[in-house]
């Protein structure tokens, strides 16, 4: 780590060739490589940049490292597992840690959601959940149920299933001809005119879910397999559901025999001050996807958690003509022992340190700090739910995202703070155990930037 450190913020020890070799995801590669922001170390709540600075991580990884970077207990669990059992396949063989983690995770999920399919990422968890939903109806003999419903501004990962049900045009536009067929979208829950500067769930907008009834009327509810939503949309800028929206969504799905999938890749395991948003909102879906926080992101891992009915129906499907395998799906690394060991250590820490309660207690301060920007001249909206927050900036000179990216860069170089910008929306995902003084310092640093940015 030390050998990579330099003093000139414009340089790293990496050559241009090395920089060019890594095609960075969801990044302006050309721009980045002119002045790369390279991280060479991390401990607790701080990154170490290649030029040797301590940079506060106000995004806790990518909504994902909630109990801090390099947690020693997880490091230890990973090292121990690597030396005891580095890998074994999960096809007709299984490692002990995967079973233990599945059981622990099921224990945190809502009552009756007792079965866990492991993946390596949120995107894979989503595609797995969609396949499970389709397989369930087939196993039930409900052969017409092949339609899927997503939502405008939904983000469900980058794979083909996820972008098909997702509702973000730039992620879909090049692939229109190859997206999944029979996918419908309900409208976003967000409307600035009625919701701007709301703290938590907006009052206005629960009626927007009625669009699902329309989709059912037009297409036949017996043709719809599942609806997938983020309980509170994250990547598209923190769009908490209007009060009553999720309750009504559950009601409509139940009425029509449609499975409800909550994509809790962000909201799962502490981010909203509870095990899952399902419990926080008291709305119980049929399938939950999760990832990020499951291992505190120290090893890639995701999961789809399903209820008993779904598991039993697929596993016991008497129509299946192959009794060796009930569900033709899985990954080389499903339930990887090192990831599972990291997951077990992470869940231990959540329990021992009361992480979800700590996160819940931080919400008031977080909301106050965010909403102190309500009157800022460059800000057009502020939104938050749990420890997810967004400050939306006014777009400068019709250059969508330019001001957002400049804020991100200036915060990194000038203020030693990492935040994320999605276009002109600044996003915040503080550590679940953040220190109040670090949050206060970071937000006043951000204010300095916003006060002086063009």
Please choose, out of 36-44, 67-75, 85-93, 150-158, the segment that lies near ligand PMP by the rule CB under 6 A: 150-158
- Of 46, 59, 117, 155, the one binding ligand PMP by CB under 6 A: 155
234 binding ligand PMP? (CB under 6 A): yes
What b/e readout covers 200-213, taking b as 16+ CB neighbours within 10 angstroms?
Answer: ebbeebbebbebbe
Q: Are 265 and 291 in contact (CB under 8 A)?
A: yes
Phi-psi region for residue 199, left (φ > 0), alpha (ψ -120 to 50) or beta?
beta
61 binding ligand PMP? (CB under 6 A): no
| Cβ distance to ligand PMP smaller for residue 51 or 234 | 234
In angstroms, give the least distance from the CB of 403 to ligand PMP: 23
| Cβ distance to ligand PMP smaller for residue 202 or 268 | 268
| Cβ distance to ligand PMP smaller for residue 252 or 291 | 291
* Dist CA 188 CA 263 (whole Å): 15
Closest listed residue to residue 264, CA positions, set 242, 244, 245, 283: 283
Distances (CA, A) of 379 to 109, 157, 201, 375, 391: 37, 28, 19, 7, 7
* Dist CA 143 CA 137 (whole Å): 7
- Of 48, 97, 156, 336, the one binding ligand PMP by CB under 6 A: 156
Q: Which of residues 265-284 bind ligand PMP (CB under 6 A)?
A: 265-266
In angstroms, give the least distance from the CB of 283 to ligand PMP: 16
Closest listed residue to residue 404, CA positions, set 414, 413, 412, 394: 394
* Dist CA 65 CA 248 (whole Å): 32
| Cβ distance to ligand PMP smaller for residue 242 or 302 | 302
- Of 226, 291, 301, 306, the one binding ligand PMP by CB under 6 A: 291
Q: Is the dihedral of CA 426, 358, 125, 278 positive or negative?
A: negative
57 binding ligand PMP? (CB under 6 A): no
Q: Which of residues 212-231 bind ligand PMP (CB under 6 A)?
A: 230
Tokens of 390: 């967004």
Q: Which of residues 83-142 bind ligand PMP (CB under 6 A)?
A: 121-123, 126
* Dist CA 27 CA 179 (whole Å): 23
Number of amino acids touching ligand PMP (CB under 6 A): 14
| Cβ distance to ligand PMP smaller for residue 14 or 168 | 168
Binding site for ligand PMP (CB under 6 A): 121-123, 126, 155-157, 230, 234-235, 263, 265-266, 291
């Amino acid at each position: 780590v030390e050998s990579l450190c330099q003093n000139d913020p414009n340089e790293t020890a990496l050559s241009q060739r090395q920089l060019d070799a890594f095609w960075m995801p969801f990044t302006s590669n050309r721009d980045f490589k002119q002045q790369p922001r390279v991280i060479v170390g991390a401990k607790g709540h701080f990154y170490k940049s290649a030029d040797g600075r301590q940079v506060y991580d106000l995004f806790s990884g990518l909504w994902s490292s909630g109990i801090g970077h390099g947690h020693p207990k997880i490091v230890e669990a990973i090292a121990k597992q690597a030396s005891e059992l580095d890998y074994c396949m999960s096809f007709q063989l299984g490692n002990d840690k995967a079973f233990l983690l599945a059981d622990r995770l099921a224990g945190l999920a809502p009552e009756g959601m007792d079965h866990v399919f492991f993946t390596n990422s949120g995107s894979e968890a989503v595609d797995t959940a969609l396949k499970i939903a389709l397989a369930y109806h087939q196993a039930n003999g409900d052969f017409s149920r092949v339609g899927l419903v997503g939502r405008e501004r939904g983000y469900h990962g980058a794979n083909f299933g996820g972008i098909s049900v997702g509702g973000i045009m730039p992620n879909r536009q090049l692939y229109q001809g190859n997206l999944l067929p029979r996918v419908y979208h309900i409208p976003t829950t967000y409307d600035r005119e009625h919701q701007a500067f709301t703290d938590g769930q907006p009052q206005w907008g629960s009626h927007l879910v009625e669009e699902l009834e329309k989709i059912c009327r037009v297409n036949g509810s017996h043709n719809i397999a599942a609806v997938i939503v983020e309980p509170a949309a994250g990547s598209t800028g923190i769009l908490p559901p209007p009060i009553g929206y999720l309750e009504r969504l559950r009601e409509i799905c139940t009425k029509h025999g449609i499975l409800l999938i909550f994509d809790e890749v962000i909201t799962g395991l502490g981010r909203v001050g509870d095990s899952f948003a399902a419990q926080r909102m008291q709305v119980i879906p049929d399938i939950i996807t999760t990832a990020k926080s499951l291992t505190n992101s120290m090893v890639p891992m995701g999961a789809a958690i399903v209820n008993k009915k779904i598991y039993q129906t697929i596993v016991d499907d008497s129509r299946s003509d192959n009794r060796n395998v009930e569900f033709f799906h899985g990954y080389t690394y499903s339930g990887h022992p090192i990831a599972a060991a990291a997951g077990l250590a992470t869940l231990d820490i959540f329990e021992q340190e009361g992480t979800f309660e700590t996160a819940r207690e931080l919400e008031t301060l977080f909301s106050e700090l965010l909403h102190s920007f309500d009157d800022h001249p460059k800000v057009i909206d502020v939104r938050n739910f749990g420890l997810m927050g967004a400050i939306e900036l006014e777009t400068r000179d019709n250059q969508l995202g330019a001001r957002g990216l400049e804020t991100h860069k200036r915060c990194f170089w000038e203020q030693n703070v990492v935040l994320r910008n999605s276009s002109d929306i600044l996003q915040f995902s503080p550590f679940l155990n953040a220190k109040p003084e670090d949050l206060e310092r970071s937000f006043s640093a951000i204010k300095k930037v916003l006060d002086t940015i063009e």
